[in-house]
Structure 1
Amino acid sequence: MRILRHPPGPQAVAGCILLLVGLLAWFLYGQARGLTWQFDDLINLRGLTRASTQDGLVGFVFGGIAGPGGRPLALASFLADYAYWPGDPWALVRHTLVWHMMTGALVFMFFLAVLRQHERLQERAMTLAAAAAAVWLLMPIHASGILMPVQRMTVMSGFFVMATLVAYVHLRVRLAGRGTVVPILILGLVCGTGMALAYLTKENGLLLLAFVPLVEWLLLPNLAAPGPWRLWRWGMRISFLAVPAALAWRLWDTWSRMQVRYTYDREFSLAERLASEAVILWEYLRHIFIPRAALLGPFHDGHAIWNWKSVLPWLAVLAFVILLVATWRMARRGSAAWRWAFFALAFYLAAHMMESTVIPLELYFEHRNYVAALGIAGLVVVAVDTALRNASSKAVVAVVVLVMGAYHVIMLQQTTSLWGNRLLAGEMWYQAHPSSGRAAQHLSWLYRQYDFDDASIAVLDRFSSAHTGRIDIGMQALDSSCRTGTGAALGERLERLIVEVPELRNPAGVAGTIGRLGGAIRAGKCQGIELERYKALLLALMENPRIQHMPRVRHHVDHELAAIALVQGDNEARLGYLRQAFDDYPSLSGAQVVARLLFAQGRNDEAIAWIEHALARSPDGLSRRAWGVTLGSLREAIVEVERLRSSWKLPGGDDQPGGVDADDHAR
C-alpha cells in the first residue's frame, strides 16, 4: 500500500510558528517571575486596596491620574488582580502577558489581511504574517512595557489599536467599490469605537487617526474607494492631519501653562525636548534592531539632554528626511520591499507624534515603541522574503536570519531573567544609568529589603553628592538614616538640605519622600533634629519657585505643615494648611477631614460652606457622583445636628444645649 506524503499547508506552518513562538515568549517572560514593583505602580494602583467598596471601586476606576483621560478601562482590568495587590507583582505581569499574546494574534491577523492584497505576496501571506507576528512578539524592546505592572495600559491600548486596524482592513476589502456614503459611515463608526476604547486605556490611542490613513495609502493602494471618491480622499487626509493639528492647537492654547511646566517641572525646554527626541528616535531603532539587555530597562530619567546648537540633532532630523524621501521614491517604482520600508518608517514616526514631540513628558520610555514597531516587524519579514528570492546564495541569507533571530531571543532571555533577579537588576540598571535618580532610589530600596542599610544610604549619598539640587534623594537618605541610626549626623544632613533648596531640580520627587521623613521626625526617630528645623525646610520648599508652580507637590508640603501644627496644638493653622492642601489638589478624603474638623469645633455653618466649596471642586464623571453621595450625607448630618441644636436653645439666649458639652456636641 502506497502512502502519499504531502507537505504541510500554509495554515499548518503558520499555526506551528504561532504556537511555538507563543510558548517560547511565555517561557522567556516567565523567567522574570522574581521581579518587583516599579516607580509608577504605587501611585497609580494604590487605590486598588479600597476597591472592595462601591466608593473605592468608583474612585479607583474613574480617578486615574496617569493621563487626562483617566484610563478607566486599563484601571478596570486591574480589578481582576485585586487578590494579588500589593503582594505579588508577577501575578499582574502574567495578566499583562495574556494581553500581549492576544495582541500578537491580532498582529498576525493584520498582516495576513494586508499581505493578501499584494499580488506578489499573496501565496506566502499566511507564513509571512505568522513570521511578522513572531518578530513583533519577541522584540526585546517590549520587555519593559510588559514587565512593569502599571504599563498594562500600554499593552491594552495596543490591543485595541490592533483590533481596530484588523477590523478596518477586513471591512475595507469587503466594502471596496460601493457607491454610497453608508460604507464610509460604517468604517468611521468602527474606527471611532476602537479609538475610544484605545483612548480609555491610554491617550495615544488617538493616533489611530493617523494609522488608518497610512494603512490605506501604503498597504491597500489598489482598492477602490468604499464610497464617493472625493469624500473618501478628503476624509483620509483630514484624519491623518487631525493629530498634528490637535498638537499644534494644544501648543497654542496651553502655551503659557506648557512653558510653566517646562520651566518648573522639567530640566529641559521645549526646544531641548525636540532636539533630544530627534536623537532618541534613532536610539529606539538601535534597540529594536540591535538590543542590549543591560541598556533595556525602566530607568531613563537621567537621559542626556540635547540642544540645537549640537550637530547630532540636526543630523538625526536630516537622516529621517533622507530616508523618507528615498524610500518613498523607491516605493513609487513598484517595489514591495521598499513600499514596506516607507510604511515602517512613516508608521514609526506617526506612532511617536504624541509622546515624542511638544507635550512636556519625560524624554525616554521604551514602551512607547509597543505599537510603533509594528511596521518594522512587517518590513523585516518582507525584506527577508525578498532576499531569499533574489539572493544568489540563499544559504547566506538563511544563516544571517538564524543568527539574528537567535541573538534577539537571547537578548530577550537575558532581559527577562535580569528582571527576575531583582538585586542584580537594580545594580546593573544603576551602573548603566548612573544619572538616573530612579535607578539610585530603586537600588537603595532593594539594599534596604536585604538589610544592607549602610549600602542603601551610601547609594543615595553618592548620588545626591554628585547631582546638586536632588533634595528628594537627600531626603530619602535622611529618612533611611533616621530609621536605621546609621550614616552622618542627622542635623547636618537636614541643614545641607535647607541650604540646597534654592537649587531644587526634581520637585515631584519631594512629594514621594516628604511624608515618610516627616512621620519619622514627628515619631522621634531622628535624634538631633528639632521639629522647628524640619518646619524651616518645609517653609523653604514652599518658597521655591518650582514648588510654587506645582500644586500637587504643594499639597504634600501643606499636609506636612498641618501635621506639625497638630503636634504643636495650633488647630487654626492646621485647618488653614489642610484647606490649602485641598485647593492645590482636591481629594474626597481631604474634603472630609476639613469638614469633620470644623464640625468637631462646633463651626457647623463653616463646615456646610466648606462642603459646598468642595463639591464645586469635585471631578467630572462617576467620581463626582461619589463625592456628591459622600459629602452630601455629611452635609445632611451636620444640618440635622444644627437643627437639633437650634431646637435645644435654653431660655435666656444661652446657645449651649442643657446637659450637652462641646465634646458631646461634636460627637
Structure 2
Amino acid sequence: MNSNKLTYVEALAFGALIACALLLFWPGVSGPFVFDDLPNLKAMQNADGAVDTLGEVKEFIFRGRAPARALSYLSFLVHDNAWPTDPRPFKIANILIHLLNGVLVFMLAKKLAQVIPTTGRQAIAFPLLATALWLLHPIHLSTMMLVVQRLVEISAMFTLAGLIAFVHGRAQVNDNPIKGYLWMSLGIGLGGPLAILGKGTGILIAVYAIVLEATVFRHAAGMRAPKYARLWFAIFTIAPLVLLLIYIGSRWERSALIFEHRRDFTIWERLLTEPRVLFNYIGQIFTLRLSGSGIYHADFPVSRGLFTPWTTLPALLGVLGSLAGAIALRRRWPIPAFAVLWFLGGHSLESTFLHLELYFEHRNYVPMLGPVLALSYGACRAARRYRPHIAILVAGFLVLEIATARHSAAIWGSEGRLAAVWAEENPSSVRARQTAADYWATRGHIDKARQELVEASTLNPNAVDVRLQVLFLDCVAMRDTEQTREWAFSIAQEASFSFATIDTIDHLIRQVKKGTCQTLDYDDIETLIDTLLENRNYGLYPEHRAKFWNYKAQLHYHQRALNPTIHALEKAFEADPRPQYAMQAASNLLSAGLPEPALEYLKRAEETNRNARLGGIFDEDLSDKIAALRAQAKAMQERKTSD
C-alpha cells in the first residue's frame, strides 16, 4: 500500500487547486435568489422579521416533517439577517462547503489509492486529478448558486466523510478486525444519519459502501471478504435500504396522487424517460457543453412509449445493459464496474420511480464522482505508456472545464444575464419565462414582464398560475382587469397544478385590499377559489384545501363578515387540523367580543398542538400563544360577568 502522508508537491498542488476553485466560482456570488430558494426559505422571515425563538427555529428546521434536512436548514439560520435581500452570504457559504467537499474527495481518493494498484507517481497524480475534475466542474454551479441546494452539499459532506472512515476501516479489517469494523461502523453508522439530516438521499451512503465492497475491495490484493462481513453489511447497509423501501411504500398512495394530479407524466413514463436523462447527464459531464445547463428542464421531452421518442429504447437498453455488464464483469474489470454501479446507484432514488421532476443537474453532485474517479485512475495508468497524449488530453479538458465554469459563473452572478440566457436556451420552459418576468417586474418594466408571461401562457395554455400572474401585474399597473380576469378564470376548473397559483392568490388579495385592482373584488377572488376547490388537481390535497379556505376566511374578515369567516376557518381546520386555524378563529371571535366560543376553539387548538406530528417535536410549540389567547378570553369573560 502507498503512504497516506501528504507530500510537499501534493500539498502545494492541492492548495493551488482550492484557490483556483474559489476564484473560479466567486463571480457567481453576486447573483440572485432563484427558483426554489424563495418558497423553501421564506419562513426564515416571520411577521416580526426573523427566526428568534426556539419554537420558530424548530418550525423552520423541521417544518412539520421528520428530521431529514434538519442540519441543512439549521445552517441557513447563520445568515438569517441577510434574508431575503442579500444572497451573497448564502452563496459564499455554499462555495466554501463545496471546497470542503473537494478536500473530502481528495482524502477519499487518497484512501482508494492505498487499495487499488498504483505506483508512487500514480498515487500522487490520481487523487489530484480526480479532485480537479470533480471540484472545478461547471455542473456544480447549479448546486452552489441555487442556495437551497446546500442540502445536497451538506448531505454529500457527511456521505464523503463517512465513506472515508469506511474505506479506512475496510482496508485494515482483515489484519485488525476490531479496529477495522469500528471505523467501518463509525463511517456508515454515524455518517449515514448525518447525511440524511442534510438531505434524504444521504441514505445512499449504504449503496456506495456496497459498490466499493463489490468492486474495489472484493478484488483488490489482500482484501478478501473479512469474517462477519455479511452480518455487518446486512446491519449497516441492507437493513437501512429495506427500511427506506418500507417508508416509500407507506407513502405510495400520496405519490400516486402526485403523479396523477401534479405531473404531466405517469410513473411508467418517468421510468422510460430517466434513462435518456442519465445519458444526458453523462453528456453534460464529459462534453462540458455551455448551452442547456441551469435549473429549468421542464421542457425535457417525456418518453410516452418505447419509441416516442426513438431514443427511449436504446437509452433503456443502454442503462440496463450497463448495469448487467457491470455486475457480471466486476471481477474482471472492477474499476469500470465501480464507475457504472456508483453512478447508477447514486441515481437510484431521484432518477427512478419517485414523484420528482425529471431533470436537475444537482442530482449528479455525488453520483458523478464514480465515473470521475475511474476515469482519473484510468488516465494515470495509461500515462505509463502514453504520457504525452494523456497529458495533452487531461490538460485540454481541465482548461476547457475552467473556461466553461468561469463563463457560467459570470452568468450566475448577473440576474439580468441569467434570466435572458435561461429564457433563450429554454424557450418552451414556463418557469424560465416566469423568471424573466420577475426580473423585469422588479425593475418596473411591467409591460416587458407581462409580455414574458403571456408568451409563457401560450406555451402552457393550462397554466392558471401564469394567467393569474398577468392579472396581478395588471393590478399593480392599475389597469382595467376585466378582460384579463375572464381570461385567467376561464381555465381554473381544469388547470394543471402549480404552487405558484396558491401564492399568487395571496398577492391578489393584498392588491384588492389596497384598491389597485380595477373591476376585481373580493367576490371575484372567492369565485376563483371555489372553482379551484372543485379542480381535483388542487382540491384533492388537504393542505391546499385548507389554504384556500383560509384565504376565504381572509376575504370575509376584510369585509367584516364574522360568521362566514369562522365557517371558512372551520373548513380549513377540517381539511388540515392545524392549531393555527383554530387559534385564528378564536382571535377573530375575541375581536368580536365573544369569549365563550373562542374558548371552544382554543380547546381544539390545545388538543391539536399537543398531538400534532410526533407530539410537537418537529413542530413549533404554540402553547404559550394559546395560553395568551386563553387568558385574554378569560379576562373578557370576567369583565362581562362583572358588568
In the superposition, the TM-score normalised over structure 2's length comes to 0.91
Deviations 1:390-413 (A, max 9, x none): 33xx33332222222211111111
Indicate the SS of the match to 1:657.
helix
Alignment of 1:52 with 2:52, yes or no, is yes
Corresponding residue for residue 641 of structure 2:
657
CA contact (8 A) 2:162 2:186 kept: no
CA contact (8 A) 1:209 1:242 kept: no
CA contact (8 A) 2:139 2:362 kept: yes
Corresponding residue for residue 452 of structure 2:
459
Corresponding residue for residue 4 of structure 1:
none
User: Take 2:54 and 2:241, find their aligned partners in 1: how far apart are those partners?
Assistant: 40
Indicate the SS of the match to 2:256.
helix
What are the within-5 Å matches in structure 2 for residues 60-209 of structure 1?
60-63=60-63, 68-121=66-119, 123-178=121-176, 184=181, 187-209=184-206
CA contact (8 A) 1:470 1:504 kept: yes
| Aligned with residue 624 of structure 2, among 620, 625, 630 | 630
CA contact (8 A) 1:598 1:607 kept: no
Indicate the SS of the match to 2:100.
helix
Alignment of 1:415 with 2:408, yes or no, is yes
Deviations 1:228-255 (A, max 9, x none): 62x3135436755556645654554434
CA, structure 1 residues 469+498, in 2 after alignment: closer, same or farther (shift >3 Å)? Answer: same
CA contact (8 A) 1:64 1:71 kept: no
Corresponding residue for residue 316 of structure 2:
317
* 1:214 CA displacement: 1.1
CA contact (8 A) 1:494 1:534 kept: no
User: Take 2:316 and 2:358, find their aligned partners in 1: how far apart are those partners?
Assistant: 17
CA, structure 1 residues 309+502, in 2 after alignment: closer, same or farther (shift >3 Å)? Answer: farther
User: Take 1:256 and 1:55, find their aligned partners in 2: how far apart are those partners?
Assistant: 31
| Aligned with residue 472 of structure 2, among 452, 463, 479 | 479
Corresponding residue for residue 662 of structure 1:
none
* 1:323 CA displacement: 3.0
* 1:430 CA displacement: 1.4
Corresponding residue for residue 369 of structure 1:
364
In the superposition, the TM-score normalised over structure 1's length comes to 0.88
Alignment of 1:287 with 2:284, yes or no, is yes
CA, structure 1 residues 586+504, in 2 after alignment: closer, same or farther (shift >3 Å)? Answer: same
User: Take 2:239 and 2:429, find their aligned partners in 1: how far apart are those partners?
Assistant: 36
User: Take 1:317 and 1:582, find their aligned partners in 2: how far apart are those partners?
Assistant: 46
Corresponding residue for residue 259 of structure 1:
256
* 1:388 CA displacement: 1.7
Q: Which residue identity is paired with 1:162? A: L
* 1:605 CA displacement: 3.8
User: Take 1:28 and 1:183, find their aligned partners in 2: how far apart are those partners?
Assistant: 39
CA, structure 1 residues 622+177, in 2 after alignment: closer, same or farther (shift >3 Å)? Answer: farther
Corresponding residue for residue 23 of structure 1:
19
Q: Which residue identity is paired with 1:563? A: Q
- Which stretch of the first structure deviates more once superposed, 421-430 or 338-347? 338-347
* 1:86 CA displacement: 1.6
CA contact (8 A) 1:144 1:367 kept: yes
The count of residues paired between Structure 1 and Structure 2 equals: 629
User: Take 1:64 and 1:42, find their aligned partners in 2: how far apart are those partners?
Assistant: 18
CA, structure 1 residues 183+29, in 2 after alignment: closer, same or farther (shift >3 Å)? Answer: closer
Corresponding residue for residue 651 of structure 1:
none
CA, structure 1 residues 658+117, in 2 after alignment: closer, same or farther (shift >3 Å)? Answer: closer
* 1:130 CA displacement: 1.6
* 1:562 CA displacement: 1.2
CA, structure 1 residues 537+404, in 2 after alignment: closer, same or farther (shift >3 Å)? Answer: same
Corresponding residue for residue 360 of structure 1:
355
CA contact (8 A) 1:164 1:194 kept: yes
The RMSD of aligned alpha carbons is: 2.6
User: Take 1:252 and 1:482, find their aligned partners in 2: how far apart are those partners?
Assistant: 45
Alignment of 1:210 with 2:207, yes or no, is yes
Deviations 1:165-204 (A, max 9, x none): 1111112223324466x85365324411111111011000
Alignment of 1:397 with 2:390, yes or no, is yes
CA contact (8 A) 1:22 1:101 kept: yes
CA, structure 1 residues 585+292, in 2 after alignment: closer, same or farther (shift >3 Å)? Answer: farther
- Which stretch of the first structure deviates more once superposed, 104-113 or 565-574? 565-574
CA, structure 1 residues 384+455, in 2 after alignment: closer, same or farther (shift >3 Å)? Answer: same
Q: Which residue identity is paired with 1:357? A: T
Which runs of no fewer than 5 residues in structure 2 stay unpaired?
A: none
Corresponding residue for residue 494 of structure 1:
485
Which runs of no fewer than 5 residues in structure 1 stay unpaired?
A: 1-8, 649-655, 660-667
What are the within-5 Å matches in structure 2 for residues 519-530 of structure 1?
519-530=510-521
